[in-house]
A and B are shown apart, each in its own frame.
Chain A
Amino acid sequence: MEQKTPPSSPMPGPLPVQQLARRCDASTLSFASTAELADVDIMTTQERARSALEFGADVSAQGFNVFVVGSSRESMDDAVKALLKARAGTCPTPDDWVYLNSFAAPHRPIALDLPPGRAPAFHDASHNLVEDLQVAIPAAFESEEYQARRTSIEQAFSQKQENAFKGLQDKASAKGIAVIRTPVGFTLAPIKDGEVLKPEIFSKLTDGEQAHIRSAIEELEKELETALRSIPGWDKERRAEVRRLNQETMGNAVGHLIEETIAHFTDLPKVQEHLERVRQDLVENIGALLAQQQAGEANGNGTAAGNAPFGRYEVNVFVTRAQQDGAPVVEELHPTLANLVGRVEHIARQGVLATDFRLIKPGALHRANGGYLLLDARAVLSEPFAWVALKRALKAREIRIENAVDLLSLTSTITLQPDPIPLNVKVVLFGERVLYYLLSAFDPEFREHFKVLADFDAELERTDATEAAYASLIATVARAKAVRPLDRDAVARVIDRSARMAGDAEKLTLVVDQIGDLLVEADFFARQEGKDAIGPDHVARAVDQQIFRMSRIRERMQEAILRQIALIDTAGVATGQVNGLSVAELAGFMFGRPSRITARVAPGSGRLVDIEREVELGGPIHSKGVLILSGFLSGRYALDAPISLAASLVFEQSYGGVEGDSASAAELFALLSALADVPIRQDLAVTGSVNQHGAVQAIGGVNEKIEGFFDICAARGLTGTQGVLIPAANVQHLMLRDDVVAACRDGRFAVYPMSTIDKGIALLTGVPAGTRGEDGAFSENTVNRRVEDRLRGFAEARRAFTANETRPQ
């Protein structure tokens, strides 16, 4: 059943000037300059976010990491950082971490935690130990004592061989045989006069002499074999003796050095254990060490990080809190996989990539371990493997250094597998709301790890009290930006601008970054004029300049209208034609512009053609608005007959997309005008959406839309009749420019609020909308009556047409 038509009412009158913009009254501000105002924490204006952050920062349960959403990244960053730093200062300072060589498995370096600030001392002590070793060990092994004992061992070994071969040689010489060293071994041959007997001479010897030589050689061969077989055994004994000597020498050389180093860490059993392992390794592996040292000297290189071969005893200070009091607050601006979880670096040595435990580098997670890590969510998601690695670390509660190349399985080179380090960090992600909701919807692990949402409001309720508080915020931002203080009037202008940025006279923007930019620009002009403080003119100029820089496209569009390229009338009347208003946003700059909307009607099947939709230039919300018009027409008119209307609606000269339903009221006016055959005033423009009952609803960008039409009218010359119809619900959003307000004050322009279509059509046509009387019919000479009559006419025409069509021939 059709609801009762809203009662028709008189035409709306123009809004009083006071409602066109709410200007901050500087006299209510109790200071002369922002220099008098103390800093305020932006978090005081963000109760919801503040409590979320405090909860997230304090709760220790797994998964209660924080996702911060909001529009003002810079100020959010600063505020969150300040809050977390204050918290971190009261938290215990986390441990230092070092990586040590694993002597048993060098590819698996050992992670060792130390009390805060102790790692550098451990590193320095180990480094000093290494330096001492580099001197003490060669000295010990070059000492007379060592050399004498080593020579004695070598000589004893040589002597054994020499004795064996001398005895053999003597015995052989006595029998006229020589033991001969060939390039690869030994042989026996008869000699005479110091020369090997030639075979032809041997053959001339008597059988007895030959047999004697043959027998002697056979006998000596056995002894030669015995002597040769003895050599490996003697060599083994020699090596064992040398090893014992080396170990003894090493033990004596390094013992006191190790003891001295241990003495610095008597309270750290883990360090003591490591140093004992160093001692053991030194003693056991001296041979390899000396060989490496010699090779290093010969080649001019050593292990991957140099300092061979004693570098294996160095300490890699991975993370230290030496200069830190409390928990760390770390922000990683470039959260690549390596920058997050650390990396193992390599050094090219003679064409080969080498690495060791000293080349393990920490990531942000390591630096923030025990504290807070701040990350940009979009940046993390943009870096390959970073998001997955972050979640993996949070889930496992440990940091395992992963290499992107390994994750891709591109190579199979041996690299290090450092011990993972236990993770206890609170991650704070910053991002847009849409990112938060997308991750919530599509990443099943997201909510598991980021249970706390800190949602920063973009706006602040505007009251006298909050205006005063906002002044303090302006002062804080001014100081943060290192600009001049603002005088009271300048602050009032910034507050006005803030409300305009919020698009609401009752709100102030909390996108502090933009306020900061405005202050920097105003300060620029103040400096140009040599002023000590920023005044209202500087703020106004800054606003104008910001708009001027961004307004080239707007000016081109206005120029097209003024040159009659884009057809917009600002005077006269026309049937089925209305000035609609749209708003465009380019790189954050919004501006309004009028668009001509026309409607044509004819008898038809009840179809309302939205041409924008037909050619796919209209978005779904726009189409919805147009379809609502069908509902309105069906519900209001010709209740006893089907709607037999063919109507078309179009945004004239619109070649881009149209989206939103803010033109649906204008489209309905055009349609009603066409149906009623009543002309519409072209000196008025309309914005607003409409529902199926004819109520006009709020839209966005009301200020820009009004100013867009005003600029065209002003350029052509204000007539005093021009104005804009806006939804009454949007009156509270009005923060119009001074020139618009002035024109309205002078009666040269007007803004009309409308709550219903009937009020709007009356103003636009000068004809009352009309209400249904007791007889159920609209009053004579009203728009509604004319529309209904026209629709009845269409219905009858269609009926007649259909009858003719179906009559038998």
Chain B
Amino acid sequence: MTMPGSEDLHFRRVVIRLQGAAGSTRSLEIVARFAKLFGSGLSGIFLEDPSLIEWSASPMARHFSRVSAGPSSVSPETLSQDFAAAAAIAKKRLLRIAGALGLPLDFTVAAADWPAFGAAALQPSDLPAVVEPADPSARPSYPFAAILRAMTQADRPVLYVPHGAVERPGPIVSMLREDDEAGRAVARHIARRTGEELVARTEAALSRPAADDVRERLIVLSRQAALPSDAAALCALLSARRVPVFIVGAPRKPNAPPADERTD
């Protein structure tokens, strides 16, 4: 990846983070088309949690699902099998989506702890993409909650696609801190690449519905913006506008309070 401040923004791969709770096909397609627009390849990283697999050997580890009447036992073997099956399904979906767009796809299954956010599998020119799970109960739960937290603390741009996001023509809306010049360059680049108008708003605008005359295509958001640390609240905020959100800027410190600027 070229430096965020560069006018020549380029990602070699758009890397979709996948885990047990899957995102919708439409969300995955949005990511794939974004990759195609930027001339990037598509990559899928399915995260397995080795610690959880180890824990499943504990007699205390039990499994609950919507389809079973009560708890069932779980073991490293069964959990590994479940992860493998979910990874296979995710790979198949991505292959179909990438194939339809003529995109190259590589797919890996990574054993990574949540805080690491799979960083070990990423290369400097990769753009990680986070796809919100279709299952609402998965959003405040681990590992997605941890992924969200890691997203706010990452040191690279992240593409976030909320569940139910739509693709539509419209301006690129930037919600950036005043001093976020690199973020502004990224926003300009995305606007130029998509052929859309660039509209600037303050970060606080994210919490309010889009104006009638501005039905944006994508939001470019400073990571330092007023994002809640709570995963469910963060989801709700990012999903409110139902468009992809491109998060840029320096990483937020863990447990840092949200900025209190509320100007538009």
Residues of A within 8 A of B (CB): 151, 154, 157-159, 161-166, 169, 178-191, 193-199, 202, 213-214, 217, 221, 224-225, 227-228, 231-232
Using a CB-CB cutoff of 8 Å, which residues 99-129 of chain B contact chain A? 113-115
Q: Which of A180, A183, A195, A232 contacts B66 (CB 8 A)?
A: A232
Which segment of B2-10, B55-63, B216-224 sits at the interface?
B55-63
Contact yes or no, A189 B64, CB < 8 A: no
Please state if A162 and B136 are interface contacts (CB–CB under 8 Å): yes
Q: In the complex, are the beta carbons of A185 and B54 less than 8 A apart?
A: no
Residue from the list A158, A180, A231 in contact with B141, Cβ < 8 A: A180
Knowing A183-B82, A225-B64 are in contact, say whether A189-B52 is a contact too (CB < 8 A).
yes
B residues with CB within 8 A of A: 19-21, 49, 51-52, 54-58, 60-66, 68, 70-71, 74, 79, 82-83, 85-86, 113-115, 133, 135-146, 164, 230-232, 235-236, 242
Given A187-B56, A196-B54, A214-B60, are A182 and B20 also a contact pair (CB < 8 Å)? yes
CB-defined A-B contacts under 8 Å, sample of 28: A154-B164, A162-B235, A164-B137, A165-B140, A169-B140, A169-B141, A169-B231, A179-B140, A179-B141, A180-B142, A181-B19, A181-B21, A182-B74, A182-B82, A182-B83, A184-B86, A194-B146, A195-B51, A195-B114, A196-B51, A196-B52, A197-B55, A198-B55, A199-B54, A199-B58, A217-B60, A228-B65, A231-B66
Residue in chain A with minimal CB distance to B254: A194
Complex partner residue of B139 from A162, A180, A196, CB under 8 angstroms = A162
**Shortest Cβ distance from B49 into A: residue:** A196
**Docked CA distance A161–B134 (Å):** 12
Whether A182 contacts B51 by the Cβ 8 Å rule is no
Q: A194, B114: Cβ atoms under 8 Å?
A: yes
A232 to B70, CA, bound (A): 15
Q: How far is the CB of A138 from chain B (nearest CB, A)?
A: 15
Beyond A162-B139, A181-B21, 16 additional pairs, beta carbon < 8 A: A157-B136, A161-B136, A166-B231, A180-B49, A180-B142, A181-B19, A181-B20, A182-B52, A186-B137, A197-B51, A199-B54, A199-B58, A214-B60, A225-B71, A228-B65, A231-B66
A162 and B58 in contact, given A183-B82, A187-B64 (Cβ under 8 angstroms): no
Q: Specify which chain B residues have a CB less than 8 angstroms from the CB of A154 in the assembled complex.
A: 164
Least Cβ–Cβ distance between B155 and chain A, in angstroms: 18
- In the complex, the answer to whether B63 meets A198 with C-beta atoms within 8 Å is no
Contact: A182 with B63, CB < 8 Å?
yes
A216 to chain B, nearest CB (A): 10
Contact of A195 with B136 in the complex, beta carbons under 8 Å:
no
Q: How far is the CB of A412 from chain B (nearest CB, A)?
A: 36
> Which residues from chain A contact B21 at a C-beta distance below 8 Å?
181, 183
Nearest residue (CB) in B for A203 is B58
Most buried by B among A159, A181, A199: A181
Which chain A positions have C-beta within 8 A of B86? 183-184
Tell whether, in the assembled complex, residue A202 and residue B58 are in contact, meaning their CB atoms are under 8 Å apart: yes
From A164, A183, A191, give the contact of B85 (CB < 8 A): A183
CA distance A194 to B242 in the complex (A): 29
Q: How far is the CB of A801 from chain B (nearest CB, A)?
A: 112
* A contact residues around B143 at 8 Å (CB): 180-181
Q: Chain A residues near B164 (CB, 8 Å)? A: 151, 154
A187 pairs with B137, CB closer than 8 A:
no
| Measured CA separation A182–B62 after assembly (Å) | 11
Give Cα distance in the complex from A189 to B56, angstroms. Answer: 9
What CA separation (Å) do A225 and B137 show in the bound complex?
Answer: 13
Tell me the minimal C-beta distance from B83 to chain A in angstroms.
6
Chain B residues whose C-beta falls within 8 Å of the C-beta of A225 in the assembled complex:
64, 70-71
Q: Is the CB of A198 within 8 A of B54?
A: yes
Choice from B55, B63, B140 contacting A199 with Cβ under 8 Å: B55
Q: Report chain B residues within 8 Å CB of A159.
A: 136
* Complex contact B137–A162 (CB within 8 A): yes
Q: A228 contacts B66, CB within 8 Å?
A: yes
In the complex, which residue of chain B has the Cβ closest to the Cβ of A225?
A: B64
CA distance A712 to B194 in the complex (A): 104
Instruction: Please give me the residue from chain A that is nearest to B83 by CB atom.
Output: A183
Question: Would you give the shortest CB distance from A568 to chain B, in whole angstroms?
Answer: 92
CA distance A162 to B148 in the complex (A): 15
A contact residues around B115 at 8 Å (CB): 193-195
Bound together, the chains give a CA A196 to CA B146 distance in angstroms of 12
Assess A187 versus B70: contact at CB under 8 Å? Given A181-B138, A195-B51, A227-B137: no
Instruction: Please indicate the chain B residues that have their CB under 8 angstroms from the CB of A202 in the complex.
Output: 58
Measured in the bound complex, the distance between the Cα atoms of B37 and A282 in whole Å is 40
Chain A residues whose CB sits within 8 angstroms of the CB of B82 once the complex forms: 182-184
Contact partner of B63 (CB less than 8 A), chosen from A162, A186, A197, is A186
Q: Is the CB of B135 within 8 A of A181?
A: yes
B232 neighbours in A (Cβ, 8 Å): 162-163, 165-166, 169
A158: which B residues are within 8 A, CB to CB? 136
Q: How far is the CA of A217 from the CA of B136 in the complex (A)?
A: 22
Tell me, in angstroms, the Cα distance from A178 to B52 when the chains sit together. 11
Residues of A within 8 A of B140 (CB): 162, 165-166, 169, 179
Give the complex CA separation of A224 and B71 in angstroms: 10
Q: Are B137 and A231 neighbours in the complex by a CB distance under 8 Å?
A: yes
A178 to B82, CA, bound (A): 19
Q: How far is the CA of A786 from the CA of B51 in the complex (A)?
A: 140
Q: What separation, in Å, do the CA atoms of A231 and B68 have in the docked complex?
A: 13
Q: How far is the CB of A199 from chain B (nearest CB, A)?
A: 5
The residues of B that contact A189 with a CB separation of less than 8 Å are: 52, 55, 61
Q: Check A221–B64 contact: CB distance below 8 A.
A: yes
Flag if A181 contacts B79 (CB, 8 Å).
Answer: no
B71: chain A residues within 8 A (beta carbon): 221, 225
B215 to chain A, nearest CB (A): 10
Q: Return the contact of A184 from the options B65, B113, B114, B142 (Cβ within 8 A).
A: B65
Rounded to whole Å, the gap between the CB of A182 and the closest CB of chain B is 5
Q: Please, which residues of chain B bring their CB within 8 A of the CB of A179?
A: 140-142
Chain B residue with Cβ nearest A186: B64
Nearest A-chain residue to B113, judged by Cβ: A195
State in angstroms the CA–CA spacing of A476 and B236 once bound together.
92
Q: In the docked arrangement, what's the CA distance between A166 and B63, Å?
A: 19
A187 in complex: contacting residue of B62, B136, B242, CB < 8 Å: B62
Residue in B49, B85, B137 whose CB lies within 8 Å of A165? B137
Which of chain B's residues has its CB closest to A191's CB?
Answer: B142
In the bound complex, CA of A276 to CA of B241 (Å)? 40
